Chains A and B, each alone.
Chain A
Amino acid sequence: MTLTISAPPHIKQDTTFRKITWIKYLALLPVSLVSVYFFGLHALALILAGIGMAVVTEVVIQKAFKKEVTVTNGHAPLIGLMVALLVPGEAPLWIPIVGAFFAVAIGKHAFGGIGSYIFNPVLVAWVFLQLAYWSAMHPASFPELGGISDLFLENGAGMLVGVSPIALVGGLYLILKRYVEWKVPLFYALTTLVLALLIGDKIGHVVTGAFIFGVLFLATDSPSSPVTKNGRIIYGILCGLLTVIYGHFANYVFAVFYGIFLANCVAAFIDNNTLPRSFGEESLLQRKYRRLVNKIPLEKLGVKIDD
């Protein structure tokens, strides 16, 4: 009889990174199918071009730097798919190819690969394409939610991802199964909706496919969001705030992407400032309050504090 020796723990959850990424494909499959139905076979070509280029880029980079090739964990093709979903339906084929290359090469590997990048590679590519090839990336129309039917098939969709908001609810399944965490999407969605209502923006402009995609798939990208419990709440609120600021003055589709991209910048900063205390004693507000009070030179002002 042979017995295995290993360090504890001896039971582990069978959730792996590979599993999480491949489940995300399932969640994105419906919206991809609807976009192919809506935009025709050109959309399929865009998606395949994105995925293909992402895979090629990852393999070439990892071979060139003599690293283990990790395409099978599904992360690079997922980036390619997401980049393709963010381009307009009538964009030329080289747009997702350039985008996927930029996302994987610059967005992901230049920063150190999985877990090390600071910006969501999909958004890096989108911002790059938006700034470099404005005319090709500007969608023909911006969606507006008019009725229930628009939830299923949005006729005003400009981007692939905007064709059907309801097809993206697979993301909710990811949250239910705890493959992605819930604090960021919840607070992001709440903040955006509440603020948009407060300043009187039309909710039909806010709730688009792009917004739901941003909430469920882009903001929850784990390496580019904070890890502390309070930090994730603040990050969600910040995403919402930035989205509404941009969206109020321009449009809510671009606002989602720019909002999350800018919130990525401060994710590490949020993390460093929300580290919990010993045994998680004080809440964040208490600590901020204490820090503020400590700065007041009470002793110099002649105030005595009794313990």
Chain B
Amino acid sequence: MAEINVMETIPEKMIIPLKQHNGDICEPLVSKGEVVKVGQKIGECPSDKCAAIHSSVCGEVVSVEESSHPSGNRINSVVIQPIEETECEDFTPFKDSGKEQLISAIKEAGIVENYGNPTHLVLNPPDCDIDTVLINATASEWVGHNYETPLEYASQMLDSLRLLMKAAGASRGVIVLRNDDKDSIDAFDGLDYEGKTIMVAPLLGKRRVDYYFNDQNTDIIVVSQDKIYGKNIFEYFTYNVTGRKVSFRCTPASAGVAICGVKSAKAIHDLVNTGMPYIETVVTVSGQVNNPQHLLVKIGTTFRDVIEACGGYSGEPAKLISNGVITGVAQYEEEVPVTKMTTSIIVQGKDEVRKDISKECIHCARCVDVCPVDLIPNRIAALANQGRFDECKQMHVENCIECGRCSSVCPSKIHIMQLLQYSEEAIAKAYEDLSEKESSNLKLGCACGSE
């Protein structure tokens, strides 16, 4: 179980972006010169597609201005100068509340999945009913989120799953672990929960969760599978775990599935038991820093302060990456804040930064061999490059989980992942532009409950 350190130092400046999710930007509730408390709401949702923003520190608002964001854009942000005292808002636990209260509490607490969707929309999508809640615990950096012991992790995670199921009104819940993550599997295996013994079941071949639900005759199961990573894994993840297919450009909600991360599950557990909103998160700092570690930081801390808390750079840094070395975003500057979507910070030295020029594809089939969803990346990339998007669609480009392995192994250094994303976007645009009448014979829209 990975050790989590808590960042104790109080930084000089906190930048809290008013958009830390996919959806609409929040409206600021504070203005320059005001004093804010820990947990005070500083960003109000203008619509439902949004999650509220809270201050993570006590201090004075220096300004409300456009500031850099880890996504690479500039976003309206609240800049706070923290003070030593910590004065908290009064948090009230939400024991014994119903579905509606839970959903609105989740929205008010600003809980966001690590992939950016506000959790209340994931659990309670408009016009859709959720029957299965999945907790994706396959990515190691989120496992062990500030828990004392593995046992505590496992039991809290099961409690959280119960809460998520209640909030979503779902009848079944699944925790998905990683095959090679022995710590977590040991923590769950043999655990007694609500009078039943939990058994970690591997997902093999066509044996998916439906089989285990029947086999174990329970409504909560724990399964394990290979690690899946990528920016766009939900369709594949849903298919792999439940066997349900998600239509093109639809969310898993259309198949009745809600996917949550360990981080948001933990945040909901905290919310219900202490009433604390989502103001701190664990980031993994690695690469060219003196003291790589997992660090619990307050949202809004700049990358510079996080790296200083990890002992500073261990050499001349050449690249600063947020959210993973394969799919992450390279940062323009150090003065970017940790947001709810930040999972890791990686520093690369000069000799690690590669400068390559794309050459012709030599059909070496390395990308075909590494692709986890059985695409032919080199051919789709060539078709996308020529603008033949309909043929890309025939080759199931929508299944791409954007894991970037194809670009990583390519000996010709072709930007395969970007070409695949490009064709996917183009296809989605073409679908949006179709008028109702023309599209009548096409399967459009994400009807709920469809298989």
Contacts and interface: CB of A to CB of B under 8 A. Distances in A.
**For chain A, what secondary structure do more than half of its interface residues adopt (helix, strand, loop), or is it mixed?**
loop
Interface stretch (B33-41, B54-62, B168-176, B316-324): B316-324
A13 B405 CA distance: 10
A7 interface: yes
A115 B359 CA distance: 10
A15 B368 CA distance: 16
B407 A12 contact: yes
B362 A278 contact: no
Interface in A9-49: 9-17, 19-20
A287 interface: no
Contacts of B352: 11
A123 to B, nearest CB: 16
Contacts of A17: 359, 362, 411-412
Interface stretch (B85-93, B192-200, B262-270, B328-336): B328-336
B395 interface: yes
Nearest to A272: B379
Nearest to A7: B418
A273 interface: no
Given A16-B411, A17-B362, A277 B356 contact: no
Given A181-B369, A277-B396, A5 B330 contact: yes
Interface stretch (B129-137, B207-215, B370-378): B370-378
A104 B407 CA distance: 29
Report, as a range, how many residues of chain A touch the other chain.
Answer: 35 or more
B365 A227 contact: yes
A223 B411 CA distance: 13
B413 A12 contact: yes
A275 interface: yes
A9 B407 contact: yes
B52 to A, nearest CB: 30
Interface residues of B, number: 56
A20 B359 CA distance: 14
Interface string A212-239: 0000000000110111110010000000
B433 to A, nearest CB: 24
A115 B375 contact: no
**For chain B, what secondary structure do more than half of its interface residues adopt (helix, strand, loop), or is it mixed?**
loop
Nearest to A220: B364
A180 B378 CA distance: 16
Interface in B323-355: 325-334, 346, 348, 352-354
B371 to A, nearest CB: 9
B325 A4 contact: no
B96 interface: no
A185 to B, nearest CB: 13
A7 to B, nearest CB: 6
Contact of A3 (B319, B379, B408, B413): B319
B417 interface: yes
Given A8-B326, A227-B368, A3 B333 contact: yes
A280 interface: yes
A28 B245 CA distance: 49
Given A228-B368, A280-B374, A9 B404 contact: yes
A116 interface: yes
A10 B409 contact: no
B7 interface: no
A113 B327 contact: no
Of A2, A10, A13, A178, most buried by chain B (CB within 10 Å of CB) is A10
Interface in A179-200: 180-181
A265 interface: no
A1 B330 CA distance: 14
A194 B364 CA distance: 27
B249 interface: no
Given A3-B331, A11-B408, A114-B360, 6 more contacts: A4-B318, A13-B408, A14-B354, A17-B412, A116-B360, A279-B399
Interface of B: 236, 239, 245, 316-321, 325-334, 346, 348, 352-354, 356, 359-366, 368-369, 373-376, 378-379, 395-396, 399, 404-405, 407-413, 415, 417-418
6 contacts: A2-B318, A3-B331, A8-B328, A13-B409, A15-B409, A114-B359
The 9 closest A-B pairs by CB, nearest first: A280-B374, A9-B404, A115-B360, A227-B365, A276-B374, A222-B364, A9-B326, A9-B408, A278-B396
